[in-house]
Structure 1
Amino acid sequence: MIASYDALSEARKALDTPLFAGLPGDVAVSFEFFPPKSDAMMLQLWDVVQALAPLAPEFVSVTYGAGGTTRDRTHGTVARIISEARLPAAAHLTCVDATKAEVNAVAEAYWEAGVRHIVALRGDMGEPGAPFVPHPEGYQNAADLVAGLKAIAPFDISVAAYPEMHPDSASPEADIDNLKRKLDAGASRAISQFFFEPETFFRFRDRLAAAGIDAPVLPGILPVSNFAQTRKFAAACGAAIPAWMEGLFAGLDTHPAARQLVAATVAAEFCRRLYAGGVRNFHFYTLNRAELSYAICHLLGVRPKAAAAIQEKAA
């Protein structure tokens, strides 16, 4: 009854007062980046890292290309974030097109570089729609990878979760069973694929609870900076784009400033509704841009921290 009363009270507050008035900043945030492809892109990424670092993220993560195509850039980016930005950084690692020995060597190099957190993923083959084929001498799936990483070192491991089901899963139940195997293998938490309606996450959270899964699941937030690009991302991962969102962004392709304002409004309200439903951890897919993620965090009550506090979290 207490939880129901709190939820009702929070919902009433959201309706009766300005949506973001009085939020205490009692949320934890994390950010995802992709490794830069050039020196110019590295400069841009570093500006983003420095802009978001004062928000004291729980961690930041750096993606890893299919088949390890960005392995060196991922490693270099993560190592620099740890050593120079003094942020807790997680490196993505996949099973695609690599032997266990090759994956283990990468993991060992991460540990030597001070990386203590890995986002362990099965990964995709690189071509859209291509079925995953495990390497004959490699890890067979993400659960297998998690177990292998735990045998190498006491990594803190995050895995992926899919509120709308992974496209390769036979059913929602099978998808949740797969998540449970990854957590049972030693993962500490899951990070969700992006989605665009709060109810999608709430229903998923209920299904996880019914399945006996109580590990933290961080909702993945994708602020829409480019709608055409977002549509491609969604098609690849099976995320539904609501009809109202299609209509809202229609006609804004040639008006980038207006599109940015609309994107910020949509994403902020989305996160506020998640907050009203009890969510206190948010993982932002930044696409190596700071403005939208920073603005949403600000509206959620997150304020810059002193450098000493950030470094203490990274230690």
Structure 2
Amino acid sequence: MATLDFSIEFYPPKTPDGADKLRVARAKLALLQPKYFSVTFGAGGSTQQGTLDTVVEILGEGHDAAPHLSCVGASRESIRTILKQFQSHGIRRLVALRGDLPSGYGGAGELRYASELIEFIRAETGDWFHIEVAAYPEVHPQARSPQDDLQNFARKVQAGANSAITQYFYNADAYFAFMDQTRKLGIDIPVVAGIMPITNYTQLMRFSDMCGAEIPRWVRLKLASFGDDSASIKAFGLDVVSQLCERLLAGGAPGLHFYSMNQAVATTALWERLTAA
């Protein structure tokens, strides 16, 4: 494989030690020359400043970076302020999401859906930003139906999204079926496959339960059979996920977006496996 169009996601560190560790991981991952790094935005914007600080630091290192921006619990004025901050730092790409309410938080805010956030961003900033949105090949866990979820995605595209990143998944057929459905609706924006490396069985089960990502039964049973054998879990996970990536790329996926969990080893191993193929 001559070239691999990919991006890498971080979450903003919460402590100085976490920030130092992320800098070390980021330096290693930057050697892979991703298209850009993205930085997540906590529930209700709880990591707003950390997101911006991390993105600005990445830009200062000479790499493109995209902050996530969620609208749930936010006012139009607060979003307007954040967009102006992004523009003042020369940020040209962002990931626009509805987001999750933090626990104990009451109101949904003035913008209820990602499509409304995108419309607002376009009204405020025109074509300044390349806007990425989320896609759910296995259906958003809160969607009323697969059809309703697909229509929600279509609304985000109609509102002005440039491209999309999927929730992670381990079933390539779900991605291809989703792409077929979007094409039937006339949607033609690039939909990049979100990829979660497998390094820790317990952590993976917890994340997947929260976000609705299905772990195939045979993969789940195999991972469980390794118990505390971390090396075997990582080796098996590398095989499973690299084969998934190869199938996605061979089937026409325009790129891959790696959920790094602020670690360099697993994403680097996947990248090396894929580029050696």
TM-score, structure 2 as length reference: 0.94
Deviations 1:48-99 (A, max 9, x none): 1111112221111000001111111111000000012x11100001112221
**What's the counterpart of residue 73 of structure 1?**
50
CA contact (8 A) 2:44 2:74 kept: yes
Distance in 2 of aligned mates of 1:172 and 1:103:
30
- State how 1:158-307 maps to structure 2 within 5 Å: 158-301=132-275
Q: Does 1:134 align with 2:108?
A: yes
Q: Does 1:117 align with 2:93?
A: yes
Question: Structure 1 unaligned runs (5+)?
Answer: 1-23, 304-315
One-letter code aligned to 1:102: S
Question: Structure 2 unaligned runs (5+)?
Answer: none
One-letter code aligned to 1:144: E
Say which SS state the counterpart of residue 44 (structure 2) adopts: helix
Q: 1:164 to 1:131 in 2, by over 3 A?
A: farther
Which range moves more in the overlay, 188-197 or 232-241? 232-241
Distance in 2 of aligned mates of 1:275 and 1:156:
23
**Post-superposition, which runs of at least 4 consecutive aligned residues in structure 1 deviate over 4 A?**
130-133
**What's the counterpart of residue 147 of structure 1?**
119
Q: Does 1:104 align with 2:76?
A: no
**What's the counterpart of residue 65 of structure 2?**
89
State percent identity of aligned pairs. 37
Q: Which is higher, the Rg of structure 1 or of structure 2?
A: 1
CA contact (8 A) 1:223 1:263 kept: yes
Distance in 1 of aligned mates of 2:145 and 2:15:
40
Q: Does 1:27 align with 2:1?
A: no
Say which SS state the counterpart of residue 167 (structure 2) adopts: strand
Deviations 1:72-128 (A, max 9, x none): 1111000000012x111000011122211011111211111121111000011134x
TM-score, structure 1 as length reference: 0.83
User: How many positions carry a matched residue from both structures?
Assistant: 275
Distance in 1 of aligned mates of 2:38 and 2:106:
23
Kindly report the root-mean-square deviation, in angstroms, between the aligned alpha carbons of the 2 structures.
1.8
TM-superposed CA distance for 1:293, in Å, is 1.1
Say which SS state the counterpart of residue 301 (structure 1) adopts: helix
Distance in 2 of aligned mates of 1:208 and 1:98:
30
Deviations 1:152-182 (A, max 9, x none): 2211100000001112212111111111111
TM-superposed CA distance for 1:29, in Å, is 0.6
Distance in 2 of aligned mates of 1:243 and 1:260:
18
TM-superposed CA distance for 1:26, in Å, is 2.9
One-letter code aligned to 2:18: M
Deviations 1:279-301 (A, max 9, x none): 24001111111111112112221
One-letter code aligned to 1:158: E
Question: Which protein has greater RCO, CA pairs closer than 8 Å, 6+ apart?
Answer: 1
Distance in 2 of aligned mates of 1:225 and 1:46:
21
